[in-house]
A and B are shown apart, each in its own frame.
Chain A
Amino acid sequence: MSPRWKEALLLAVILPLSFLGWVSLDLSTGGTLVAGHVVYPLLWTGFFLLAHLVLRILRPQADPLLLPLAAALTCVGLIVLLRLNAHMARLQLVWLGVGIAAMLLLVALLRDYRSLDNYRYTLAVLGLVLLLSTVFFGREVNGARLWLILGPLRFQPSELAKILLAVFFAAYLAERKELIAAAGKVVAGVHLPRPRDLGPLLTMWALSLLLLIFQRDLGSSLLFFGIFLAVIYVATGRATFVVAGLLLFLAGATLTFFLFGHVRVRVETWLDPLNPETVNDESYQIAQSLFAFAEGGLSGTGLARGSPGLIPFVETDFIYAAVGEELGLLGATALALLYLALCGRGLRLAMRCPDDFGKPLAVGLTAVLGLQSFIIMAGVTRLMPLTGITLPFVSYGGSSLVSNFLLLGLLLCVSEGGGELAEGD
């Protein structure tokens, strides 16, 4: 069976789920179907059918699982959002359309992803400018400077920057991997890198700290550093970079713990979220999130039967808690497995990719999805300190949704190989 027919088959299974979600939600909310709500599954289905048809023409050989997996994730996100906040669900539907359009445009325009290699420094500079722009022009929302506000448009630059930097890491490390990996001394069986090869690592470390200190953006800081470590590890095969990187990060985090109150608060609420002194104050959000998961139990309260509205920002950072409450352990686990499947697919296409740029690129992009989803899922379940980032494809948010579809588009490009050039090979 050709990849596109596999994709069609999978979509045929997943697309009806959105109608099931709509029926289930309406019945449990008011007991009757609201005809107007049919717009959500209908448009959502339309978007993914369109994407499928365009891929048939543009990328017949691209990976058949990526689009259905993204469809499943956005389906859960859309139904849960519709339950939480109808206004946000409407906007999310619009952003979904924009995101899929952006993905298709990228797939259409970028005939060969290897051409990105030529713009590596342009992309890196653009990424850094985006990241640092908020330091100077950003607006502080909920304790973190993450937003650029241009008239009526609000934009979270770090969402796009993470892709640009993943591309840059891949390009930079693909070229230098031998140099970095081969040089250096072996001491007691451990391969030590040359000091000058530590440059990129130290630069990234500094950048992460900068994000942490000036933007109070713990999530992005951790994410960027994690992507970098994943790519450098895969590219060089040297675990010493990972160990050194983690030690550096821990040192930086410890430093900020003692220097900055907001980091300290995050750690304290992580260690003791149910402390009666803070439970209605600093640790209110994480405590409410834990209560939501407990309320859900094994099979959940059922859509619209829980009280996820008690958690501040449940539509964005904390949407996983709403899933845990209303869809239960089963639903929350299913969602985690969907991300794992997406990552598995991304790594598989990285292994099959024939060229030295495509491999680390696919790894970097996959690491973005895998790490970002883990950081926030682990954060709201108190597996690690909470850092505010969105759950890819599920959380409410235009910048996040569009960026993730661009990322998906890149993965689709890599999965098909180098377009016309590859065919000519």
Chain B
Amino acid sequence: MQKGIRRLGVFFIALTLLLVVNLSYLQVWGQKGLLENPANTRRLVEEYGIARGRIITSDGLVLAESVPAPGPFAYLRRYHQGALFSHVLGYDSPQFGRTGLEESYNDQLLGRKPPRSWVEEMTSDVREGNDIYLTLDAEVQSAAAKYLGSRKGAVVAMNPKTGAVLAMYSWPTFDPQALVTQDKDADGTPLADKAMRSYSQDTGSPLLNRAAAGLYTPGSVFKVVTGSAGLEAGLPASTVFDCPGVWEVGGSRVTNYGSPPRSFGRIDMETALTHSVNTYFAQLAVKMGAPALVKCAEAFGLNSVPPLDLPGVSASRIPPAGKMDAVLLAWSGVGQGEVLLTPLQLCLVGCAVANGGRIMVPHLLKEVRKGEAILDRYDASVWRTPISADTAAEMLKMMVSVVEEGTGTQAAISGVTVAGKTGTAEVEGKPPHAWFLGVAPAENPTVVVAVVVENSGGGGGSVAAPIAREVIRAALR
């Protein structure tokens, strides 16, 4: 019998070994797969058990906070400003996950960052997150929403010296509260599901943040880039071209605005920018060559994703120099052809001009706070330096002329020197997009505004410039 008992003991040891090997698989090697399984709601229950921090504008308006809720999730988000800040805030929904700042600053809002001391970590659970304060200014944002109104488009306003985003608005918009609610209708269908379905199926794409992700043909606002590229390539502002109403290149025709297309004769760059003369900038682009134009455009940030602290930012596009023939180059020089810009990228171009050639890293976060204590602060830093200080000053001077006597007079504000550039981008088969890029005050710029109104039917000077004017006014108050 002794032998049998001993063997039974070996059997028990083997069973225990099996158990421990399997446990090690579950808890160590195979852990990741189980944690990431979509059916695993542990993280959700845990995360919605924490009173998430508030999101507050730089002028103290509370945009989002967490309130106790019935049901499996102890806390749910409440958004106080309806659809006004929705594309920046995003949403924090147990069903649909997180987007916007709710996603990019999730760790801060849940109190996981900045890290706590190990004594606190050992003895107390995180029950409350940290508040995040934004660079956004509620008044500037409200002005953007009010003057864009119910027109498809977007507005971005930034402080060029710091990279702080003052306003970022996109229309059509959505109500983040509708996606977060856990209420159900009479049939038991969650209201949030219905809202998500209707937003997703809406042809106006209300969930799209046009300001950072919308790619549009820029039209004449791109002349700021083409002009800067010329200056950088050694073609001074005094460079003169003969500018007829129609300029033929490689069998294609670049035409000026007006019917019939207006002829300007021999003019320099300032006159050309002031009156947005296509035939000047087409010739300028062809003269400097595709490599110079593309190099400068990429230095401004095209073909790369701007490092804004928001998910879902798109890279603006310009075709590689090798793929540009004379026709495409000429059209690219006036912002047509295959060039595509986001309003954010245009704003960054304006920032370089307004800030002595340097683009600061664009950001929405100002600081992370717990109560009164400031735990973390966003430090301004340079993203890139696409143009020299001289080029920037030269370009700014020409843009002042645009608002004073050219196509952008509607952006003028009495007592403030506003610089700007209009754009009316032709799109095939649809009314043109209206653009405006504004900088103020020109002597010492503190605000840059980019506005696009999709398929507006009007020109940049009449449709987009007045919106930029009101946003600048709000920012300079």
**Chain A complexes with chain B:** yes
Q: Number of residues in A with C-beta < 8 Å to the partner?
A: 53
Q: Which partner residue on chain B sits nearest A233 by CB separation? A: B4
Complex Cα gap A306–B35 (Å): 13
B9–A343 CB distance below 8 A: yes
By a CB distance below 8 angstroms, the chain B residues around A77 are none
Given A27-B123, A233-B8, is A324 in contact with B23 using a C-beta cutoff of 8 Å? yes
Whether, in the assembled complex, A164 has its beta carbon less than 8 Å from a beta carbon of chain B, the answer is: no
Summarize A's interface: helix, strand, loop or mixed. Answer: helix
Given A293-B27, A307-B45, is A340 in contact with B125 using a C-beta cutoff of 8 Å? no
By a CB distance below 8 angstroms, the chain A residues around B1 are 234-235, 237, 359-360
Interface-facing stretch out of B11-19, B53-61, B320-328? B11-19
Whether, in the assembled complex, A254 has its beta carbon less than 8 Å from a beta carbon of chain B, the answer is: no
B16–A274 CB distance below 8 A: no
Whether, in the assembled complex, B6 has its beta carbon less than 8 Å from a beta carbon of chain A, the answer is: yes
By a CB distance below 8 angstroms, the chain A residues around B26 are 290, 293-294, 324, 381-382
By a CB distance below 8 angstroms, the chain A residues around B3 are 237
Closest chain A CB from B323 CB (angstroms): 45
Closest chain B CB from A78 CB (angstroms): 22
Whether, in the assembled complex, B430 has its beta carbon less than 8 Å from a beta carbon of chain A, the answer is: no
By a CB distance below 8 angstroms, the chain A residues around B4 are 233-235, 237
Q: Number of residues in B with C-beta < 8 Å to the partner?
A: 37
Given A307-B42, A381-B19, is A363 in contact with B123 using a C-beta cutoff of 8 Å? no
The count of A-to-B residue pairs whose CB atoms sit within 8 angstroms is 124
Whether, in the assembled complex, B186 has its beta carbon less than 8 Å from a beta carbon of chain A, the answer is: no
Whether, in the assembled complex, B24 has its beta carbon less than 8 Å from a beta carbon of chain A, the answer is: yes
Given A230-B8, A297-B28, is A336 in contact with B19 using a C-beta cutoff of 8 Å? yes
For A28, A328, A339, A347, the residue with the greatest tally of chain B CB atoms inside 10 Å of its CB is A347
**A291-306 vs B, Cβ < 8 Å mask (1 yes, 0 no):** 1111111100000111
By a CB distance below 8 angstroms, the chain A residues around B41 are 310
A280–B39 CB distance below 8 A: yes
Complex Cα gap A73–B258 (Å): 90
B39's partner among A234, A276, A305, A370 (CB-CB below 8 A) is A276
Whether, in the assembled complex, A374 has its beta carbon less than 8 Å from a beta carbon of chain B, the answer is: yes
Summarize B's interface: helix, strand, loop or mixed. Answer: helix
Complex Cα gap A328–B26 (Å): 11
A328's partner among B15, B27, B42 (CB-CB below 8 A) is B27
By a CB distance below 8 angstroms, the chain B residues around A31 are 123-124
A374–B19 CB distance below 8 A: yes
Whether, in the assembled complex, A344 has its beta carbon less than 8 Å from a beta carbon of chain B, the answer is: yes
Q: Which A residues, 367 to 412, have Cβ-Cβ distances below 8 Å to chain B?
A: 367, 370, 374, 377-378, 381-383
By a CB distance below 8 angstroms, the chain A residues around B27 are 293-294, 296-298, 324, 328-329, 332
Complex Cα gap A386–B38 (Å): 23
Q: List 28 A-B contacts (CB under 8 A).
A: A234-B1, A235-B4, A274-B37, A274-B39, A276-B38, A276-B39, A290-B34, A291-B34, A293-B23, A293-B26, A293-B27, A294-B40, A296-B27, A297-B27, A297-B28, A298-B28, A329-B23, A329-B27, A329-B28, A336-B19, A340-B12, A340-B13, A344-B9, A351-B2, A381-B23, A383-B18, A383-B19, A383-B22
Residues of A within 8 A of B (CB): 27-28, 31, 230, 233-235, 237, 274, 276, 279-280, 287, 290-298, 304-307, 310, 324, 328-329, 332-333, 336-337, 339-340, 343-344, 347, 350-351, 359-360, 363, 366-367, 370, 374, 377-378, 381-383
Q: Ordered nearest first, which 4 A-B pairs have the shortest CB separation?
A: A294-B34, A234-B4, A279-B39, A329-B27
